[in-house]
Chains A and B, each alone.
Chain A
Amino acid sequence: GEQVEQLPSSLIVQEGASVLINCSYTDSASVYFPWYKQEPGKRLQFIIDIRSNMERKQNQRLTLLFDKKTKHLSLHITATQPGDSAIYFCSANMNTGGLSGKLTFGEGTQVTVIS
Chain B
Amino acid sequence: DAAVTQKPRYLIKMKGQEAEMKCIPEKGHTAVFWYQQKQSKELKFLIYFQNQQPLDQIDMVKERFSAVCPSSSLCSLGIRTCEAEDSALYLCSSSRGDQDTQYFGPGTRLLVL
A binds B: yes
Interface residues of A (CB under 8 A from B): 4, 31-32, 34, 36, 38, 42-46, 49, 87, 89, 91, 93, 95-96, 98-108
A43 touches B101 (CB 8 A): no
**B102 within 8 A of partner (CB):** yes
**Chain B 18-61 residues near chain A, CB threshold 8 A:** 31, 33, 35, 40-45, 48, 50, 55-56
**B90 within 8 A of partner (CB):** no
**Complex CA–CA separation, A99 to B44 (angstroms):** 18
A101: which of B35, B41, B91, B102 is its contact (CB, 8 Å)? Answer: B102
A102 touches B104 (CB 8 A): no
The interface residues of chain A, by DSSP majority, are classed as strand
Interface size on B, residues (CB 8 A): 29
A44: chain B residues at CB < 8 Å are 43, 91, 93, 104
13 additional A-B residue pairs with CB within 8 Å, beyond A46-B102, A99-B56: A34-B102, A38-B40, A44-B91, A49-B101, A91-B43, A100-B98, A101-B102, A102-B45, A104-B45, A105-B35, A105-B42, A105-B43, A108-B41
